[in-house]
Chains A and B, each alone.
Chain A
Amino acid sequence: MLALVDGKDTRFDPNLFSIYSYKRLSELWALGNPFAWHLSLESRLVFASDDVDFINRLGMPSPYRNCVNDCAKFYSLFLEARESLMRDKRSMVFDLSTIFLSIRNLATCYSLGISGRPDFSRHSAIRLPNGAAVQISPDAYATIERARILTIRGCGDPIQETDADRIVPELKIIERWMIDLVERAKLHGHT
């Protein structure tokens, strides 16, 4: 649930709401940020104290022009998480969660910038069309998704080192998939 506020507003618990200022949201619109596109295409107003649908009034966001840079950023995020995971297990669940985040966000940016079929869902990476979906085992995918939920919501069964060990062979597959999508984005002519 998203809450839009004008300056500091203590009515909303940041653990329950994503809280953005009107100004910040307008900036994201001007940047053509994927989050702005997500809100523009898929959100709906639940309540406005002044009855104004602010997001509707913003119209469509600017064109999304940062696809290659964003994909490269999430590839870099993946590399950092993998390096950390292989070094030691002190942030193991967080690293698995970050791997899931990097996969999902890269796929979402690609779907918005390249595929022409934006997919903002949690499962965008396994739903990309035209052979672009990530090909990792359902078991590995379920584990990193569980890690993501654990780190955000704090609920779910703990993840064991043996679970993480089963992800390791899949990391090469994920890396190749990411490199391929970044290259496809470059060929598409995005920056």
Chain B
Amino acid sequence: MGTHEFNNRIEAQRTILKVVNTQAWETEQLISLSRNAIDRWVRANRLDADECLVRLLLDASAGLFFLANRSQEQVSDEYVIKSHRIADICREIENELTATRWRVCS
């Protein structure tokens, strides 16, 4: 089993958290991509659970869960696709935060 896959998943999560927390949130930072932590952050900052940003975070959360529990046989197309998808989600989150700031400022 890939020794560094575990560490890579932690690093992917950290990267997303740093992107999200570049913005100053009203009450609390996002502290992890577990479902419970996302729910807490949504409630604490009175966000709309249907917001694009929240949906992207839940997507990333589900993707990381998939990668953590995949069978060795799945170290294949689906694994690679999911890994790339998480990197894409990170970029989408960055875009979403930038767009939201732009809307607020205009």
Contact = CB atoms under 8 A, between A and B. Distances in A.
Interface of A: 14-15, 19-21, 23-24, 27, 31, 33, 69-70, 73, 76-77, 80-81, 84, 88, 90-95, 97-98, 147, 150-155, 158
A150 to B, nearest CB: 6
B106 interface: no
Given A24-B69, A88-B18, A73 B3 contact: yes
A118 B37 CA distance: 31
Interface in B1-58: 1, 3-4, 6-7, 10-11, 13-14, 17-18, 21-22, 28-29, 31-32, 34-40
Contact of B36 (A15, A23, A88, A97): A15
A interface majority secondary structure: helix
Contacts of A151: 31-32, 34, 37
B73 A23 contact: yes
**Most B Cβ at <10 Å: residue of A33, A95, A98:** A98
Contacts of B28: 158
B7 A73 contact: yes
Contacts of A90: 17-18, 21-22, 29
B71 interface: yes
B76 interface: no
Contact of A23 (B34, B38, B71): B71
B31 A14 contact: no
B14 A154 contact: no
B14 A94 contact: yes
Q: Which 7 A-B pairs have the closest CB atoms?
A: A154-B36, A151-B32, A154-B40, A90-B21, A93-B31, A91-B17, A90-B18
